Homo-oligomer: A and B are copies of this chain.
Amino acid sequence: MNLILLFEEDFLPDGRQVRLTGRRLEHVRTVHRAKTGDELTVGLLGGRIGSGRVLRLDKEALEMEVALDRDPPPPLPLTLLLALPRPKVLRRTLQTAASMGVKRIVLLNAYRVEKSYWQSPMLGEEALREQLVLGLEQARDTALPEIELRPRFKPFVEDELPALAGGTRALVAHPAAAGPCPRASEEPVTLAIGPEGGFIPYEVEKLSECGFAPVTLGERILRVEAAVPALLSRLF
């Protein structure tokens, strides 16, 4: 937790002080081991970042006087279409995507996505948000990504994807692709990443019809949780 994410409801009526309990209090007590007077990095969800001076820290509460004086890091101009991975991998990948500044994530079905993954409690609104918050806190960001669930591949690709990817450089990560993943893109990107085992040829074709160019990081096939940071860091 490199930034303590604050919510409107944390603020006392004066609008300058916050009072935190629960997970954030525990973390500041046991990991940061802060003392009264210390300055901690804080940020308001959807707003600016700054510092919080510790006024009180004990078993009951953490109280800080907060000054929000700068903007969070800029977002990554990338929309991520991710074939739904298994829940454990989803958790880590969402954290990483949020840390790296992705602001729109579509979790998509694909032939090689196990049907049971769509029943996972990880896909509940609160559970998804929890992972995103962890990612923001890690990277000192405050802008929560949006997640959309699309459990049907074909209608999504045919009806929604052309508009979603319009005006962006559309790429599908595909280990067998001929072209290398571009470096240091100056345009916004829509990036599709398949499931373990990859998109099947029909899916790559449907994505190609929407203008997605298959690109590769090389002949080494990476797990999804490594492919996401590797691709994002190559692209921007």
Interface size class of A (residues with CB under 8 A): 20 to 34
- A185 shortest CB reach to chain B, Å: 12
User: Which among A2, A92, A220, A225 has the greatest number of chain B C-beta atoms within 10 A?
Assistant: A220
Q: Which of B141, B183, B230 contacts A230 (CB 8 A)?
A: B230
Write out the residue numbers on chain B whose beta carbons fall within 8 Å of the beta carbon of A99: 220-223, 226
Bound state CA distance, A229 and B233, in angstroms? Answer: 8
User: Which among A95, A96, A221, A233 has the greatest number of chain B C-beta atoms within 10 A?
Assistant: A233
- A226 shortest CB reach to chain B, Å: 4
Minimum CB distance partner of A233 in chain B: B230
Write out the residue numbers on chain B whose beta carbons fall within 8 Å of the beta carbon of A145: none
Number of identical monomers bound together in the oligomeric complex: 2
Write out the residue numbers on chain B whose beta carbons fall within 8 Å of the beta carbon of A218: 73
Assess the B229–A226 pair: CB atoms within 8 A. yes
Q: Which of B141, B219, B226, B234 contacts A220 (CB 8 A)?
A: B141
A132: interface (CB < 8 Å): no
Bound state CA distance, A210 and B140, in angstroms? Answer: 31
Which residues of A72-125 have CB atoms within 8 Å of chain B's CB atoms? 73, 92, 95-96, 99-101
Write out the residue numbers on chain B whose beta carbons fall within 8 Å of the beta carbon of A232: 230
User: Which among A221, A229, A231 has the greatest number of chain B C-beta atoms within 10 A?
Assistant: A229
- A34 shortest CB reach to chain B, Å: 14
Q: Which of B96, B227, B231, B233 contacts A217 (CB 8 A)?
A: B233
User: Which among A99, A183, A231 has the greatest number of chain B C-beta atoms within 10 A?
Assistant: A99
Residues of A within 8 A of B (CB): 2, 73, 92, 95-96, 99-101, 138-141, 183-184, 217-223, 225-227, 229-234
